[in-house]
Structure 1
């Protein structure tokens, strides 16, 4: 080199003597340039260049490039170049400055090379001329000849490799004797292990054709490993007639002779050694550092003995298994193949082969012949195609499989999986392990033997022998009609298997699948469940249980073959057409309808709302939880219900029925009359079209009579009665203190002993009380209310209501919202409960009549009545002097109407009207009264207050005691008189006379009539006004105002001045 120095680096020892024995301790650090100088002037140091210098031959250059550059030649060459199996980077450089230079000189007798370094000669390779003109002429290297070996050897020195056999100053380590031969390294002088150092002794063309395994490992220690080279799925192929190494079908190494002597480095992928062309007994070893023998004739002769292999495997770099070769295609001889820790596929092909998979998930394919296959650790696959093939697996070495096309096969020890690959019928038998056995398209018989086995039948009508509950069957849809023959105590059919037969002698549980299964039990008490599909269940002898999942399931039971039961999750099931089966049980989660047959059935429901009908026979019906319905058609049927297990119903056509414990409801399904009795629960009892008697008993019951004249016994305030419109004339009988008729029920009868409140509805009700103080309210409708003994109250809402009271049957009251009402016989009291105006009329009894807030008209009739008007402008008709009027303060403007000869208004009543034709004396109170007389000679006295006095026809007398009193008289309505104690008074129209009834002075003034005005004892002033008046002063100094010649003044003698 001239002045330009490629950097170097120190290389540390690895601790592996095989590798360390080749390390000089120094390597290039950076891109390695190379050159083939053609003139000695390219060298600046003396020596070799000065002794017959010449450039090397083109053949030498080609070989040097092959082993240096990955890019040289075709891709098949890549894995054999230093650049291909290390991370070293080569590029062409200048003849004057290149890192590695190749030239020829006579100075070295054979060849020598300088290690990497900083000297001008470092990395230079010199070939000598000693063998020029001989068969070992270094100018003509071939793969496998001495010249080719020498070129590889010297290139190794140039890159930093030392002699394997020789210690040097910097590294005294040598390769171990067992590896010190050209079989492992091109850097040793020993031809074979144990050889002397007296020179190579191999035959012509018997040299290594590539860097060998220790060389590659040492170079990778210096420059790293390249895993990109041949990193795909690479196929390496050889044939016995030539020594060519093919890579993916392309020739990579073409030697002069039919010799194969090389090491393979592969960067990754799933790779294959293809030796299918060989007929020899191949010995293949895929392990790292292993070697393979293809053919004795292709082995290199190393002077009386032969190379131990044709192809050697590279060592692993830092334990990375990517460089391993995974697969082998062997030939037709009796081959021996050993795999490695990768997942190998080893094809034995023809011949009696021995295949050893080693570690990894290996595939061993024996091929034709009686093969010996040992999988080793890992999940291995064996392809068995000969009945004499022998599979060997040790315990706990993975999950292993056999594939075979033989008509029958039994798994050997420690192999788990068996797969049939033929097209006929197959008998496959397992071992004591948990096997997986797979049949083919024929009618296979698969028996897993002991262990939890998986049996896969494939197409065809297959038979599975199952002897463990953990066995499982795998069948494809529409893959034949398949059968399981089971000896275990229970078995469930897997998908797509149709039939199951128990071949044991004990009790058996057999379960089907979604297909149309045939399940056959034995002599024990079997449980057969076909699951989905139209299944046939055949129990045989014993007390069998059938689980029916589809209505089309067929149950076959023999006569007197045990007491049998059907369990079903169907929403409805009937034993009607199932002979010889006694019991039915619902096991579903929804509602269920279960029907028995002519036997004495036990029918059991579930948690849903079940309907159970035992049919003929003395049946036991057990509803369970849920709102259950029991159809009872025999008085001997037994209903079993638990506490709080839903709201349950009995339906029956019997003439009478009483609910048992824990059943809530009773429905009559016949057409005659029915007597239905409840229990202590809240019952719903429903009658039919007849005249039913429904008694709920204790509890809040709902009684539904239906058509017919029904009678309801109500003994709880929460009882309810339901009747349809126009469904007969119905009666509620009750002992409750109060009851209101529901819709469509006509009659209500109290059957208790206390006080009763009975209320009707919109119908024409008949409501009967008893001996207590009853309150009867018919509501809307023309009701008949019959109180019976006691102080009864009747609520009258309709003018057509009829109240019936017995004589001396208590003091009774009618309350009404009608606008008018007249008391019937034997009823004492009447109260208006509305808010409008009311007309209330009494009878011959001493009535109490009470109005409301409206303008009421109250008339007690005969008898000493009490009339209470309440708020509003009320009118009282008083026809007995003993009648009592009660009015509240400020409760309206009220009026008394009376035909009595005299009447004085009580408190808070404003007006008084005389309704007869005789003379009447009417007296007011402190209020501003309006008092109206009649056609007779009435005397009207308003009392205190500003009163209005209306005399009417007749000669009426008005007592005026308040200047605000007013008199209303019609023309020609008699000769009327005002009597007053006021200090002055002037007659109004149509009143003729004025009489002063006081003691003081009085001023009396007439009107235009012919008045008679009479003063008192005081000094009166009397003025008749227009008309022919008569003025009578009385005692006192009176003054008369005479304004008509016809006026007459009458004054007693000595009666003043």
Structure 2
């Protein structure tokens, strides 16, 4: 058993002794057994809701206890789950009557919320060439069974998560904790992959509602995923390709301040924005693909005079992931103290109200701190950047040393510049004009030439920034001015 952080090694059944566990294995015909082709190909998968136990179960010696067909509500929820899976990958799900490639039914189970069978093909090959000659799906592969006593047919409910989990099994995704490759323990939780059995840290939620009679109802539960998570999406897209037509417009992603969640974003194009403008608690938005954000949602407080032995832990940590290769361009904070982090493209980060921290990363970014005392973060030392003030805001470029990796950022509403070697006030980068104190230049006698020196010319002039001052040009009235070539000038008055 090998521990890994790789989603493909830890989640793909084809890497764990099930080489045919993908519905595009039929495309492997004509390719070598040692390296069957078709991985990444789009596929159409039929599905159906069983009205009876298929006859092949008896012939296989498999028993289904208390078979029950899905209700209309359960069917609708299943279609919704299939829609979320097809949104991220190139699988077209097609509903049929009878027995589909995937089938769904209910039965009685012991200590289980559901189970499913991997895709499985019987295949033959030519011994002389080692090429696959035929591939036929086995009849039970792709069957999904949900426990009759499992509840929660809604996003975030147990059955909803179970439907995602078991359908992923039926598409060729395994548990991260079993097999030849297992996921590193710190990643083996449901915020990373729905296939985990482990709740994420900080997932326990306290929900307090009025009972309508002057009292309260208290509900405690672990928040659970309502979509495929980042590692799930990576594994599914490896098997079947990415859905490049999903969310190709300019999308705005918003969230309910009262609804705890775990979910991931797959977005195939456009100029997109995550907005938490309706949130008052400080959050973290990280726009990098494969990374997670913290959309801060806290458990309900106990009413005055009430106590509880339960300790709610959910606070939104790692509740929003961005799938690998998904690009979100912009982030908007709320009225709390937010942290906004950009990615490799040109980002617009808007802090809003609060004392916010903004880091553009690579690209030419626009950072707007808004109200409050806001910080712009840069990865290098101050000397690696050129900072220019334009009268209302700043531009910061790392091209001073010629690498230009972080581009040129435009800053407004930023009070603190945070470099690797320290924090600097924005006022440190505002260049104030020198202030002169007029006075007579006394050198010589009336109507006689007299000498002007640089020291005399700049005497009495002050500069708040301590800039080096020099005389660049002189003009004279009522006389002529001669440049002596040694930073002195001779003024000859008119007669």
User: What SS is found at the alignment partner of 2:77?
Assistant: helix
Cα deviation for residue 271 of structure 1 reads: 0.8
1:341 maps onto 2:341 in alignment:
no
Does residue 239 in structure 1 map to residue 234 in structure 2? no
**1:50-129 pair list within 5 angstroms:** 50-69=64-83, 81-96=84-99, 98-106=100-108, 110=112, 111-117=114-120, 118-129=137-148
State the shift of 1:192 in Å. 3.3
* Residue 177 (1) aligns with residue 206 (2): no
Distance across 1 between alignment mates of 2:110 and 2:232: 24
The within-5 A match list for 1:983-1022 is none
Tell me what 1:735 maps to. Answer: none
| C-alpha distance in structure 1 between counterparts of 2:271 and 2:385, whole Å | 17
Residues in 2 aligned to 1:186 and 1:194: alpha-carbon distance in whole angstroms: 16
Describe the shift of the 1:307–1:224 C-alpha distance in structure 2 as closer, same or farther (beyond 3 A).
farther
Deviation at 1:410, TM superposition (A): 12
Partner residue of 2:314? Answer: 306
RMSD: 4.2
Q: Which residue of 2 aligns with 1:365?
A: 368
Change (3 A) 1:95 1:205: farther
Deviations 1:395-439 (A, max 9, x none): 6443344446x9xx999999xxxxxxxxxxxx99756xxxxxxxx
- Which residue is equivalent to 2:286? 285
1:620-658: CA deviation from partner (whole Å, max 9, x where unpaired): xxxxxxxxxxxxxxxxxxxxxxxxxxxxxxxxxxxxxxx
Q: Which moved more, 1:306-315 or 1:284-293?
A: 306-315
Partner in structure 2 of residue 7 of structure 1: none
Distance 2:428 2:479 in 1: 31
Q: In the alignment, which of 12, 15, 18 is matched to residue 23 of structure 1?
A: 12
> Separation in 2 of the partners of 1:228 and 1:540?
78
Assess if the C-alpha contact under 8 Å between 2:284 and 2:294 holds in 1: yes
Q: Take 1:34 and 1:108, find their aligned partners in 2: how far apart are those partners?
A: 25
Q: What does residue 144 of structure 1 align with?
A: 156
Deviation at 1:113, TM superposition (A): 0.3
Work out the CA distance in 1 between the residues paired with 2:142 and 2:416: 66
Query: For residues 391 and 354 of structure 2, what CA distance do their matches in structure 1 show?
Result: 12
The answer to whether the 8 Å contact 1:374/1:391 transfers is no
Correspondence 1:215 to 2:232: yes
CA-to-aligned-CA distance 1:203-240 (integer Å, 9 cap, x gap)? 53611111111111111111111222111110001232
Distance 1:116 1:87, change over 3 A: same
Distance 1:43 1:65 in 2: 25
Per the TM alignment, residue 305 of structure 1 is displaced from its structure 2 partner at its CA by 3.9
How far is the alpha carbon of 1:376 from its aligned partner?
4.9
Q: Deviations over 1:128-170 (max 9, x none)?
A: 22xx2xxxx34x4111121111111111101111111111xxx
Corresponding residue of 1:945: none
- The 2-side partners of 1:271 and 1:326 are apart by 5
Say which of 328, 332, 335 aligns to 2:331: 328
Indicate the residue corresponding to 1:969 in structure 2: none
* 8 A Cα contact 2:263 2:320, kept in partner: yes
Q: For this pair of structures, how many residues does the alignment match? A: 374
Preserved CA contact (<8 Å) 1:68 1:83: yes
**Correspondent of 1:398 among 393, 397, 407:** 407
Is residue 203–residue 303 contact of structure 1 (8 Å, CA) maintained in 2? Answer: no
Task: Quote the residue 2:459 is aligned against.
Answer: none
User: Mind listing any 5+ residue stretches in structure 2 that lack a counterpart?
Assistant: 15-20, 25-42, 121-136, 204-218, 301-309, 421-426, 436-453, 455-468, 484-490
Q: Which has more helix, going by share of residues?
A: 2
CA contact (8 A) 2:115 2:146 kept: yes
Instruction: Label 1:115 to 1:352 Cα distance change in 2 as closer, same or farther (>3 A).
Output: same
Match of 1:163 in 2: 175
Aligned residues of 2:298 and 2:315 also touching (Cα < 8 A): no
List structure 1 runs of 4+ shifted beyond 4 angstroms.
47-50, 375-386, 389-397, 409-414, 427-431, 503-506, 559-562
CA distance in 1, matches of 2:329, 2:268: 12
Query: What displacement does 1:53 show?
Result: 1.2
- 1:1051 corresponds in structure 2 to none
The C-alpha deviation readout for 1:929-982, integer Å capped at 9, x for no partner, is: xxxxxxxxxxxxxxxxxxxxxxxxxxxxxxxxxxxxxxxxxxxxxxxxxxxxxx
Q: Deviations over 1:554-583 (max 9, x none)?
A: xxxxx9659xxxxxxxxxxxxxxxxx9xxx
The normalised TM-score by structure 1 is 0.32
Give, in whole Å, the separation in 2 of the partners of 1:381 and 1:237. 34
The aligned residue for residue 475 of structure 2 is: 522
Distance 2:288 2:389 in 1: 22
Q: Give the whole-Å Cα distance in 1 for the aligned partners of 2:282 and 2:165.
A: 33
Q: How far apart are the structure 2 equivalents of 1:380 and 1:141?
A: 56
Instruction: Give the equivalent residue in structure 2 for 1:541.
Output: 480
SS in structure 1 at match of 2:57: coil
Match of 1:39 in 2: 52
Distance 2:5 2:222 in 1: 31
Are the counterparts in 2 of residues 380 and 400 from structure 1 also a CA contact under 8 Å? Answer: no
Distance in 2 of aligned mates of 1:160 and 1:203: 33
Q: Could you say if the C-alpha distance between residues 285 and 380 of structure 1 is closer, same or farther in structure 2, counting changes exceeding 3 Å?
A: farther
Distance 1:107 1:261, change over 3 A: closer
Q: Considering only CA atoms, is the larger Rg found in Structure 1 or Structure 2?
A: 1
Structure 2 distance, partners of 1:373, 1:284, is: 15
Whole-angstrom distance in 1 between the partners of 2:388 and 2:193: 37
Are 1:262 and 1:310, in contact at CA under 8 Å, matched by a contact in 2?
A: no
* Structure 1 stretches lacking a partner, 5+ long: 1-14, 70-80, 196-201, 244-258, 415-426, 432-445, 450-462, 464-486, 488-502, 509-520, 524-537, 545-558, 563-579, 581-1057
Partner residue in 2 for 1:776: none
Q: Secondary structure at the match of 1:358?
A: coil
Distance 1:226 1:159 in 2: 16
Q: Is the Cα–Cα contact under 8 Å of residues 217 and 314 in structure 1 kept in the other structure? A: no
Distance 1:124 1:334, change over 3 A: same
Distance 1:52 1:413 in 2: 66
- Normalising by structure 2, what TM-score? 0.65
Report the secondary structure of 2:255's partner residue. strand
Q: Quick check: 1:85–1:216 contact (8 Å CA) kept in 2?
A: yes
In 2 relative to 1, CA 382–49 (structure 1 residues): closer, same or farther, beyond 3 Å? farther
SS of residue paired to 2:8:
helix
User: Is the alpha carbon distance of 1:189 and 1:306 closer, same or farther for their aligned partners in structure 2, counting shifts above 3 Å?
Assistant: same
Contact 2:339 2:357 in 1 (8 A): yes
CA 390–89 in structure 1, closer or farther in 2 if over 3 Å, else same: same
Contact 1:177-1:193 within 8 A present in 2 as well: no
Q: SS at 1:276's partner residue?
A: coil
